[in-house]
Structures are given as structure tokens and as C-alpha cells.
Amino acid sequence: MGTTMTLARFSGERAEIGHIGDSRAYLFRQGELRQLTRDHSLVAEMVASGELRPEEAADHPFRSVITRALGIESRVAVDLVEQDLLPGDRFLICSDGLTTMLDHTAIAALLAESDGPAAAAAALIKAANRAGGFDNITVVLVDVRT
């Protein structure tokens, strides 16, 4: 068995993100949601190579097949992403249980209308469960204050 992992370390005016698998990190800044990590999955690789169109990925039968995971091999490559921080930024780290149930637009709308990270996390989980919630749904939100 293996697991996915996305983590963030906030220090000064920067965030450092480590990533393996198909859990994701997003930056919500000034009303726009941007995915910071790239899924390590068969379908993501097929989209990147042009073999599959992005709109076909959501319903592809192999969408849950990951190509990198923690615990399968003794060594695994970890993607590292650095991001400058601005006051008002909101970082979302989530499992595919959220992103399978809610699309980019729905996630952005819930982040925009929720006050504070706790309320936003609760709204995202509730919406994902209402949409079917057939996988575990993990959500971590961090708001940058200064």
C-alpha cells in the first residue's frame, strides 16, 4: 500500500510545498484559484502528453491510478514548489476526495464566500459530501495574514 502526500511549510514571506501523488495544493489569491501541484497519475500524464483531453480526464476509468506514492518504493521523487506569500492569500491542501467531487469553479466559489479557514473547510467538505462523497475528503486551509 502507498499513500499520497502534500505538505506545506510557511516561513517568512514564502511557502514551500512538497508533493507526491494526487492530493493537491492550491493558492486562492484575489478571487482566483490556481493549482500549485501536478498530479502524479496516469490520467494527468495522458493529458500532459496530449493523449487525452482535459474534459475526458474526469470520467476516465484510470483516473485514480497514481504513478508516484509514498511507501511503495524505498525511494521516491518529491516535487517541490515555492510560492511567495501575500496578505489575503489562502492555501488549500486537499485529497482527491474533494477534487473528484467538486470542480475548480465550485471550489473557488466556496473559498470566496466563506469567512475564515474553518468555515471554508466545513463548506468544502459539506459540498463534496452532497455531491456524492464516495472517497475520503481531507481539507486543510491556511490564511496568510501578514
Residue for cell digits 481531507? Answer: 138
Which residues of the chain form beta strands (DSSP E)? 5-11, 14-20, 24-29, 32-35, 79-84, 90-94, 139-143
Print burial letters for 105-143: b (CB count within 10 Å at least 16), e (below 16): eebbbbbeebeebeebbebbbebbeeeebeeebbbbbee
Query: Is the CATH code 3.60.40.10 the one for domain 5-38+79-143?
Result: yes
pLDDT at 1: 73
pLDDT at 36: 97
Cβ atoms < 10 Å from Cβ of 89: 17
pLDDT along the chain (146 residues), means of 10: 91 95 96 96 91 85 87 90 96 94 96 94 96 91 90
Domain ranges of the chain: 5-38+79-143
Q: What is the value of pTM for the model shown?
A: 0.92
Category of 132 on φ-ψ map: left (φ > 0), alpha (ψ -120 to 50) or beta:
left
pLDDT at 58: 78
3-state secondary structure of 81: strand
Task: Name the packing angle between helices 104-113 and 116-130 (round to 10°).
Answer: 140
